[in-house]
A and B are shown apart, each in its own frame.
Chain A
Amino acid sequence: MEVSPLPASPILALIRKDLLVEARTREAVGLTLVLAVLVLIVFRAGFEVVGTAQPAAPVLWIALVFATIGGLARGFHAEADRGMLDALVASPADGGQIFLAKTASGSLVAVALGLLTLVLAGVLIDAALLVSFHVVVPFVILGAVGLSAVAALVSAISARARQRAALMPVVALPLCLPLLLVGVQETQAAISIFFVAHSPAAGLAAITAYDALVIALGYLVAPRALET
């Protein structure tokens, strides 16, 4: 499998294209934000009805995972719906560069929305998330990047599938589980009163390693996934 070098300009051009489309349509941002808020509200309501404490860390990360996979799944699927997938593949950028651009543009959106979701979760679920904001933020950022990479990779593989919207969560959610587990564990540790004794270094290393692995796999696999 040929792996071409990484000239910056095709990737930057594609990122710019995606961000411009998003700025005009607000398709991913709107959907992702609404989905995140709905998940937070549903969990808040569900736990409050039975009178149990609301676990802030899992609720935050569940909202992030569902919002990112649901909102950013449109990545390559949107291109396919508009009949632009073949044009994208025929562009000067190769499949790996297209994947990196899609991941980067998705990450920018996901990180922004992730931070917003963190604030909303602090308001709706548990204010401890706001108190530990500076500790949780690196995990939210790295998690958002990883989730975007998973979304881009799975949407590339399923771009030409039937019922790709229904297929996306079935295929993407298992790949998001490692990020969810580490994110929840580290966020819970951050908002715990025993945080002083916990070092986030191992968690940061684990999330970073998984992000790098998914991005590397996507770079290698995407050219074959997008070819006609």
Chain B
Amino acid sequence: MQPARLERILRLKIPFYIAAAVLQIAGIYLGLLWAPILSTGFSSPVAQRIFYFHLGAALASYVGFSVTLVGSVLYLRKRDLFFDSLSRDAAGLGLAFALMVLTSGPLWGYAEWGTPWRFDDARLMTYLTLGLVFVGYFAVRRSAPNPAERARSAALYAIVGYVLVPLSFLSVLIFRSLHPRVVLPGGGGIGPEGGMVVGICVTAAMLLFVALLLSRTELTLLEAKIERLQQGVEA
């Protein structure tokens, strides 16, 4: 990608941050105070409001891992370390959002099911496994002897590990699970108001993800520039 075009894209991070902040504040107000309490299908209707933030974080984590996959494939095709850095940054953000999911989910689960986690639940375990796989991604990166080997090994492992993303996403449909289903025709009973709040919160999470990724990418490019300048000075 040409540097000027990349610069223009990176400058978009400020508008993305602003939009994410506005939508997230709106989502917090609407989700916690405005959306109707859903007494049907939930034994803890108040705690159900965690869902509005939980879903956005989960979808953002899937997007992060998907960007990692795309970056990994592009690296293997073009051998450009920019795509390796993009994959690394996206994987890190995916893990950060996954941590939000693995924190908010058990809080909701404890209120709803009386237990924060069920190790025999396929939906929960596939998502946890996905997170562990991407922790392994960083372990692979740390063990490589040089940047090219690091990029290759990490890209291959990311491609292998990505199979758990669709498995995790679809597990709520394939397996019997305590985890509620809301991505269904009819929306799982959250109603139009709930649907609107979901849309706002998910959009906020996606905008935040993009803004953070742009920031990380800018940082990576600056680090590379500093390294080039240092090498020039030393030479």
Q: Which A residues form the contact surface with B (CB < 8 A)? A: 153, 157-158, 160-164, 167, 170-171, 173-175, 177-178, 181, 185, 213, 217-218, 221, 224-225
CA distance A181 to B164 in the complex (A): 14
Known: A161-B140, A167-B140, A185-B120. A221 touches B159 (CB 8 A): yes
User: Which of chain A's residues have a CB closer than 8 A to the CB of B153?
Assistant: 157-158, 160-161, 225
A177–B128 CA distance with the chains assembled, in angstroms: 10
Measured in the bound complex, the distance between the Cα atoms of B153 and A153 in whole Å is 11
Q: Is the CB of B160 within 8 A of A217?
A: yes
Asked if B140 contacts A178 (CB within 8 A), the reply is: no
**Cβ contact within 8 Å between B156 and A161:** no
Q: How far is the CB of A124 from chain B (nearest CB, A)?
A: 24
Per the bound structure, the CA–CA distance linking A131 and B76 in Å amounts to: 51
A224:B156 contact, CB within 8 angstroms:
yes
A218 CB contacts on chain B under 8 angstroms: 160
A171 contacts B156, CB within 8 Å?
no
CA distance A224 to B156 in the complex (A): 8
Please give me the residue from chain B that is nearest to A188 by CB atom.
B120
* B136→A160 contact, CB < 8 A: no
* Secondary structure of the B contact surface, majority rule: helix
How far apart are the CA atoms of A164 and B132 in the complex, in Å?
Answer: 18
Expressed in whole angstroms, the Cα–Cα distance for A171 and B120 within the complex equals: 22
Instruction: Number of B interface residues at 8 Å Cβ cutoff, please give it.
Output: 25
Chain B residue contacts of A178, Cβ below 8 A: 126, 129, 167
Quick check: is B224 within 8 A (CB to CB) of the other chain?
no
Secondary structure call for the A interface = helix
Q: Judge whether B149 is part of the interface by a CB distance below 8 angstroms.
A: yes
Shortest CB-to-CB span from B140 to chain A, Å, is 6
Q: Does B144 contact A (CB under 8 A)?
A: yes
User: In the complex, what residue of chain A is closest to B150 when comparing beta carbons?
Assistant: A161
- Interface: B145 (CB within 8 A): yes
B156 touches A157 (CB 8 A): yes
**Given A157-B160, A161-B153, A174 contacting B132 (CB threshold 8 A):** yes
Task: Report the bound CA distance from A119 to B145 in whole Å.
Answer: 42
- Contact check, B156 vs A167: say whether CB atoms are below 8 A apart: no
B24 shortest CB reach to chain A, Å: 31
Flag if A157 contacts B157 (CB, 8 Å). yes
Instruction: A167-B140, A174-B135, A217-B160 given; name 19 further pairs at CB < 8 Å.
Output: A158-B143, A160-B144, A161-B143, A161-B144, A161-B149, A162-B145, A167-B143, A170-B135, A170-B136, A173-B132, A174-B161, A175-B161, A177-B125, A181-B125, A217-B159, A221-B156, A221-B159, A224-B76, A225-B156
A174 and B143 form a contact (CB under 8 A) = no
The distance from the CB of B146 to the nearest CB of chain A, in whole angstroms, is 9
Q: Which of A161, A163, A185 has the most CB of B within 10 A?
A: A161
Chain B stretch 85-143: residues in CB contact (< 8 A) with chain A: 120, 122, 125-126, 129, 132-133, 135-136, 139-140, 143
Q: Within 8 Å of chain A (Cβ to Cβ): is B216?
A: no
